[in-house]
């Protein structure tokens, strides 16, 4: 039986240009994935900051309302 054709490093069929092209494609794809992840994390951080701002506003509004109600009922003491 004949042995199947196998390509091995150094057998004369190596293509350094093709290998460099494949490495460049891999780096490009990795960069795209990193950019997508960074954009996702940035959007999550912005949403969390907005939610914290709203929550702080609601809590501040409650405090002001309680002070106003106490003052209307006869003063803070």
Tens digits of residue pLDDT in 8-57: 665 555 577 777 778 888 888 888 888 888 888 888 888 888 888 888 88
Total number of domains constituting the chain: 1
User: In the prediction, which pLDDT does 36 show?
Assistant: 84
Please indicate, yes or no, whether the overall pTM of this predicted structure exceeds 0.85: no
Residue at 77 is within a domain: yes
Would residue 18 count as lying in a domain?
Answer: no
Asked whether residue 1 is domain-assigned, the answer is no
On whether residue 66 sits in a domain, the answer given is: yes
Q: Are 13 and 7 in contact (CB under 8 A)?
A: yes
Asked whether residue 40 is domain-assigned, the answer is yes
pLDDT at residue 38, as a whole number: 86
Residue span of the structural domain in which 58 resides:
29-77
In a domain, 23, yes or no: no
| CA distance to 46, 56, 68, per residue, from 60 (Å) | 21, 6, 12
pLDDT of 2? 63
In-domain check, residue 67: yes
Is the pLDDT at 58 greater than 60? The verdict is: yes
């Amino acid at each position: 039986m004949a042995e199947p054709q196998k390509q091995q490093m150094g057998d004369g069929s190596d293509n350094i240009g093709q290998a460099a092209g494949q490495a460049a494609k891999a780096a490009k794809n990795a960069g795209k994935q990193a950019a997508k992840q960074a954009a996702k994390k940035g959007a999550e951080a912005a949403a969390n900051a907005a939610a914290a701002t709203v929550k702080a506003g609601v809590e501040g509004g409650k405090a002001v309302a309680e002070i106003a109600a106490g003052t209307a009922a006869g003063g803070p003491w």
